[in-house]
Every structure is written in C-alpha cells, then in structure tokens.
A and B are shown apart, each in its own frame.
Chain A
Amino acid sequence: MHPLAADPINRRLLDEHQRGFPLAGRPFARIGAGLGLSEDEVLARFAALQAAGLIGRIGAVVAPHRAGWSTLAAMAVPAATLAAVAALVGSYPGVNHNYEREHALNLWFVATGRDRAEVQAVLAEIARRTGLEVLDLPLEEAFHIDLGFPLRWT
C-alpha cells in the first residue's frame, strides 16, 4: 500500500469525506475541525494525496439521467484493431470511462450527452466509423445505496 494511504488521518479524510464534503465558505477548515487539524494541514494532505494519484478531483458526482443522458456501451473488437478503436472511442468528449474487459465484448465505455438522441447519435457514428456493432445498455434502475465506496484497510 502507498505510505500516504496507510496514514490513519489520510484514511479518515478518504473515508469520511467521500459523502459529505462541507458546503461552506471554508470547507477545509471545517474538515480540519472534525479531525483536530489546521486548515493548512488538511489542504496539504489533500494536495499530497492528489499528487500521489490516490485521489482524483474533489468535485461533484452527478446522478445519471438527471442532468443529461448516459449509457453503457459495449463492442466486440478484433484484437488487431482494439487500440485504434479504443483511441477513436476515447476521442469523443462525451466518453467518460473506457475499459478493456476480458470477454468477447471486450471494449466497454460510458457515453454521455445532453439527451438520449445525442448519445445514440454518437454510438451510431462510432458504429459507422468502425464497421462494428455497438450495444446500447442504458441504466433502467439503480439499486445500490450510493454512499461512496467504503474502503477496507485491513
């Protein structure tokens, strides 16, 4: 494990603030007050975690289909063209997640846009440019309790 992730205070920063980042004028001071740290130290710890790649941005996680449309798409891409097709798919600004998976359907990505028609147009364009079928698997119902992912440390 990365030494920064092993630090007990960093673990609390990662675990407890996945859900409720304070909506306040000085949020880092408020986080520090809960942990007995100064505002500067909280900022320095977040900056170090970010620099080490252990966290990405601190930002808003938006709910699907509330402020636009998104879908999960899958393609069966021949191995010889996978890199080229993945690069093409990733070049669309609305594509957020692009994973290679061990399956006949080996390329998976999330496509987003303003509405369903815009997303479907992107999938159709990818199908046309690659000559491959693109499966459109939009979310119909979410079942998980979205509390952020609890990290288990031991």
Chain B
Amino acid sequence: MSGTPLFLDATDRALIKATQAGLPLETRPFTAIAEALGLPLQEILDRLERMRVAGAIRRIAAVPNHYALGYRANGMSVWDVEDEAIDRLGRKVGALPAVSHCYRRPRRPPDWPYNLFAMVHGRERAEVEAEVTKIRTLLGAAARAGEVLYSSRILKKTGLRLVD
C-alpha cells in the first residue's frame, strides 16, 4: 500500500465503477466516460491520476487472462510463519517474480493454521513447484508448515470491483 489515505467522494466512486467495467475500445475512451458521467474530460483524467497516486487505484490496465495465455498452473502457497518474522519474510516472498500476490491473513485454528499466502503462477505444475521450493528455502525455519493449494476449476472470476 502506498500513498496517503484518500477520501473517495461519490464522483470518484462512480468513476471507478465506470472504468472498472472496461474502457470502451475507441479513440477517446475517457471522453465517452466523461460524457456518461456529465463531467469534463480533464476532471476525469485528474481524478483518475489522483486516485492512482494515492493508491486507491492500483493501475489502469489491460487485465491479462493468465490461463488463456498458457499459465495453466496457479498454486496458492500457504505458510505458518512465526509472527515476529512474517513482515520481513513476507516482503522477500512478495518480491519474487513468480509471486503475483503475497498477503498476511489471520490464522483460523484448528481448520486453518496458515498466516502467509503467496500466489504462484506457472505454465505447468512443475514450474510452480520449483518456485514454491524457492519460497520454502527463503522462509527457512521461520515457517513451521506450508502447503500448496492448486485450483482445479475457475468457477467465477471478474476481478475486484466495487459493488453497491
């Protein structure tokens, strides 16, 4: 998380909703959104830039479909890492190129003993496993246990969106 906290007003939220559904593929996509919201183009661009700098919008991007691009294996590696070490080690794991997301989340004993999640992408399972070995080495003795959960089916995927 970067930047300073930002209060999002109703216009910001409407703008996020308008853009996250997908920019129209036309020469002036932000003009189309500006017209739909009844705002000047420059205000749209300024608000998007402000939210991007403040971190409320991570990026505006073409969202690749990893599965269609050949990255068929996606493993959610999960680890029980000592509380004192997790921030330092989590940053190291998160910096690995094959790790797209790396989060600290609460343990829920006894069902769920893991507090570090690192999502690993690869073209095949062997590639994911090689990356998981790197993570295991990096965590060392600070990780008491770990495992990898492979996805067997994508049941719904639409990306993080605002709802209301």
B100 near A61 with CB under 8 A, answer no
CB distance from B76 to the nearest CB of A (A): 7
How distant is the Cα of A99 from the Cα of B149 in the complex, in angstroms? 11
Cβ < 8 Å to B, chain A residues 85-139: 86, 89-90, 93-103, 105, 107-110, 112-114, 133, 135-139
Q: Which residues of A contact B11 (CB under 8 A)?
A: none
Known contacts A23-B49, A62-B160, A149-B121: does B76 contact A101 (CB below 8 Å)? yes
Pick the contact of A67: B16, B94, B102, B147 (CB < 8 A).
Answer: B16
A43 near B27 with CB under 8 A, answer yes
Pick the contact of B59: A56, A110, A146 (CB < 8 A).
Answer: A146
Q: Which residues of A contact B146 (CB under 8 A)?
A: none
Q: Which residues of B contact A7 (CB under 8 A)?
A: none
Q: Which residues of B contact A89 (CB under 8 A)?
A: 155
Could you tell me how many residues of chain B have their Cβ less than 8 Å away from some Cβ of chain A? Answer: 77
Pick the contact of B157: A20, A97, A113, A149 (CB < 8 A).
Answer: A97
Q: Which residues of A contact B106 (CB under 8 A)?
A: 137-138, 140
**Residue of A21, A89, A151 ringed by the most chain B CB atoms within 10 A:** A21
Closest-by-CB residue of A relative to B61 is A18
Q: Which residues of B contact A150 (CB under 8 A)?
A: 97
A55 near B60 with CB under 8 A, answer no
Q: Which residues of B contact A13 (CB under 8 A)?
A: 62
Q: Which residues of B contact A74 (CB under 8 A)?
A: 112
Cβ < 8 Å to A, chain B residues 137-164: 147, 149-164
Known contacts A1-B70, A39-B27, A139-B103: does B60 contact A61 (CB below 8 Å)? yes
Interface 0/1 of B12-43, CB less than 8 Å to A: 11001001111101111111000000000100
Interface 0/1 of A45-85, CB less than 8 Å to B: 01101101111111111111011101010101000000000
A61 near B6 with CB under 8 A, answer no
> Is B132 in the interface zone, CB < 8 Å from A?
no
Known contacts A56-B159, A67-B8, A102-B150: does B1 contact A142 (CB below 8 Å)? yes
5 extra interchain contacts, Cβ-Cβ under 8 A, other than A2-B68, A21-B60, A57-B20?
A61-B57, A61-B61, A63-B56, A98-B155, A144-B95
What would 15 A/B residue contacts be, using CB atoms closer than 8 Å?
A19-B59, A25-B41, A54-B65, A57-B20, A58-B29, A58-B63, A62-B20, A66-B6, A66-B8, A67-B12, A70-B160, A97-B157, A99-B151, A103-B149, A144-B94
